[in-house]
Structure 1
């Protein structure tokens, strides 16, 4: 029998998908490359086809959100970017002397600094892989400044650029993340450390692909987080174990829907060309792609305000958070939740006649909501 009988509809060739993604972005628009922060955010919400498509097509989501009337509040300020660049330059100055001090290497002359220059991201990724293989067999320390790594996300290659990768004399590879937030008394803001760990886990995942085809190479699950010490500009460092973040990232990246499947389901008139399309057409195009909004998106996506407004207008429970959504079972809208909490068992029939669907009284979520309403009424003295 033909293999096509049990494999579903054939996928379009990758050249056709890339051409369609370029059309969606707009012929005059320069594609926005994905970085590790975006991959980590995408992996944290793998059910959002909207973000997977927009990121895969390289759409400028900041400009798109502004034209939709929901300007983004996401992103770093220019001051924070400049401060981070200045601190990174200090850490890497003089052949990386400060970084080497944090690694316990006293003599910079004993460290190799391979040249990673090459044409284009593919060339740089190949040059990085070669430099890693050469350094692993040399039995010396090596610092790779801004190497280029590659990982596949939703069926498309993504090129990533960590701050530093260190090759130890024993063949271990360690990712170094340089951040400008302070480490006070040996501890930093847990939320910022968590975000840095999720970002570093993406680098470790990509680095593992190179290590898998390199003899005697192993990738450390502990990344070196370098931050300013206390209230000074003196670098200090701490090892951060990212095994949990790596496991989650690997699993979520593998779950991401392939771009060819998303593209194949799009109507022909969908376009995200910010320069040419009207706000009305852009809004219709955005709504043609399913999304998975959650409050966590506000700290990770440029379209979060737009998606939040649509989620609130539709009254879906996802707008209340993933944990709340998980507790509510079959209740999918806020209207259904309020109806279930409002109605006592004797009112179910009348509610059904009125067109409300508040769920069955046998549903544990419904029973919990009604009990919560009773307790609230008792607390407020309203019974």
Structure 2
């Protein structure tokens, strides 16, 4: 997996047996959901979750699956936000992209080309994008690629990613452009939203690097252009965001993902995520794949409410957060943690157990020394 992320030919469609197996899991009437950069960034942030890796790899509609399981999600972009985002992107790309090129300092803005990237199917569009990038690099001028399609191998299955734009510089640099509708007030935007945009852009940079490795004179810039509305207007303004840290994390986390075919092969016979099946069969299939729930999942995965309910029911320490789960090591349930703290469980040589028992002793001593006074009611 790690080799396929670093070099080699572009990802091809899954082999026929895997394609058929994923179609069986998804259901005969279900169309596969594409794996976009937002979902891929969330997947990379939690590589230990085999459940999400398999469902995303098979193209299962997780929102519909969550509703069928009785744990519907309230996440998702509102129609108003979707329309506002589309309107702002159209404003940024007005005049054939001249406004966007002005933000990059191309003046006069007419000195650039916008190639046609249309093709049949995602494989064709990805190939057309790669060809346009190579031609633009060889030509040595300014080129704007509007909604190119990039291919990236994820856990043995191809993902097709569509950035808002990619600009090819005359010196061969390729810059990812992210257009977001959240405002940039006094040249500063919400840090959480900028961070999410940076993680998403890092996925695009990673996919672009696969094409640049096979293109003479090409170099992918690790500083992306983030375009947002200025203050409270609809006028675009731009900021450069360095995504090297997010890129390193994404590359490392994707390399840790278990291959989709290995996860699918471990499923029990008859397991299916076909939404036409009864809820108990869907529950059986979902619970057959291990999950790694953490509170962060609530903002990134449609199945988060279902996984949280199951994690709480088993007392999993993951409900307390990834950092706590990491600190506790092999203690995977709250019951294990309490038993270790009381001295009735756990390996005495485990540093986590030693720390828990020390903390419990300090707490007991503090409570014994405290002078409690109960105030009378009324």
TM-score (norm 1): 0.90
Q: 2: CA distance between counterparts of 1:330 and 1:257?
A: 21
Aligned pair partner of 2:351 in 338, 341, 364: 364
Q: 1: CA distance between counterparts of 2:241 and 2:107?
A: 23
1:226 counterpart SS class: strand
Gaps of 5+ in 2: 1-13, 373-378
Name 2:53's counterpart in structure 1: 52
Gaps of 5+ in 1: 1-12, 352-356
Q: 1: CA distance between counterparts of 2:49 and 2:215?
A: 35
Question: Is 1:42 matched up with 2:19?
Answer: no
CA shift, 1:211, in A, is 0.7
5 Å-filtered alignment, 1:1-383, equals: 14-274=15-275, 276-341=276-341, 343=342, 348=343, 351=344, 357=345, 359-376=346-363, 378=366, 381=370
2:277 counterpart SS class: coil
Deviations 1:224-265 (A, max 9, x none): 000011111111111111111111111111221111111111
Name 2:376's counterpart in structure 1: none
Q: 2: CA distance between counterparts of 1:49 and 1:242?
A: 26
1:54 counterpart SS class: helix
TM-score (norm 2): 0.91
**C-alpha contact (below 8 Å) 1:95/1:108 kept by paired residues:** no
CA shift, 1:80, in A, is 1.2
CA shift, 1:18, in A, is 0.8
| CA RMSD in angstroms, aligned pairs only | 1.6
Q: Which moved more, 1:256-265 or 1:219-228?
A: 256-265
Q: 1: CA distance between counterparts of 2:257 and 2:329?
A: 24
1:137 counterpart SS class: helix
CA shift, 1:14, in A, is 2.1
Deviations 1:30-85 (A, max 9, x none): 11011001111111111111111101111110000001011112221111111111
Q: 1: CA distance between counterparts of 2:321 and 2:55?
A: 23
1:63 counterpart SS class: helix
**C-alpha contact (below 8 Å) 2:98/2:110 kept by paired residues:** no
Name 1:10's counterpart in structure 2: none
Q: Cα distance 1:364–1:141, how it changes in 2: closer, same or farther (>3 A)?
A: same
CA shift, 1:338, in A, is 2.0
Deviations 1:97-132 (A, max 9, x none): 221111111223211011111111111111111111
